[in-house]
Amino acid sequence: MAAGWAACFLGAVRRAAAERKVRLASTTITAEITLNHDDDGEFGLAAVLNLELGGVDQQTATELGAAAHRICPYSKATRDNIPVTINAGAA
C-alpha cells in the first residue's frame, strides 16, 4: 500500500505543479503506513507522507502537497477513513 500510494501521490504532485506552471528541480517521497490498536480494541491505519520538493519555496511545497492530496486516488480512497499527515518541505 505504501509504495503504491507514494508513487501515485508523486504523480499527483507533478500534475499539480504542471497545472500551476511550477518547475520542480527534484522530488522525493516516503510513505509511512502504521497499523494501530485503537482504544476500542479495534485495529486501524494511519499514514504519513513525507514530500521533499526542490526548486520551490516552502509555501509552494505545502500548496502542492495539499493539491496532490485532493487529486491522488489513494488519498481520495482513504479520505475521512484514516488519519493522514502530509509533511511537504522545500529542498
pLDDT in 10s for each residue of the chain, 91 residues: 899 999 999 999 999 999 999 999 999 999 999 999 988 889 999 999 999 999 999 999 999 999 999 999 999 999 999 999 999 999 8
3-state secondary structure of 53: strand
Within 10 Å of residue 54's Cβ, how many Cβ atoms? 14
Residue range(s) defining the domain that contains residue 9: 2-90
| Total of domains in the chain | 1
Return the pLDDT at 91.
85
Q: Do residues 51 and 26 lie in contact, with contact meaning Cβ atoms separated by under 8 Å?
A: no
Q: For residues 9 and 49, what is the distance between their CA atoms, to the nearest angstrom?
A: 9
Burial class (CB in 10 A: 0-12, 13-18, 19+), 82: middle
Indicate the residue type of 45: L
Whichever domain contains 39, its CATH number is 3.30.300.20
